[in-house]
Amino acid sequence: ALYYGYSHLYDDHGTFYDDCGALYYGYGHLYNDCRTLYYGYSHLYNDCGTLYDACGALYYHHGT
């Protein structure tokens, strides 16, 4: 499991959750295609590995 950013973000075999309880990444939900992506109510932007969460915090997913 990957832990990053003050334990706010953790990797659960492809599913990401933040401390706010919002679903960030899940199969069939978010796709990393190196384009700015807006995901539903979570207000998540994905820009080639850079994750911005709805709480205004920034998380960086290094691992492509």
At residue 12, the pLDDT reads: 43
- In the block, which residue shows the tokens 């205004």? 56
pLDDT score of 42 = 41
Please write the tens of the pLDDT for every residue from 9-54.
444 444 555 444 444 444 333 433 333 344 443 444 444 445 555 4
The pLDDT assigned to 10 comes to 46
Residue 46, token pair as written in the block: 């994905």
Q: Give the residue numbers spanning the domain of 41.
A: 3-60
Q: How many domains does the chain have?
A: 1
Contact status, residue 30 vs residue 39, Cβ threshold 8 Å: yes
- Per-residue model confidence (pLDDT) at position 51: 54
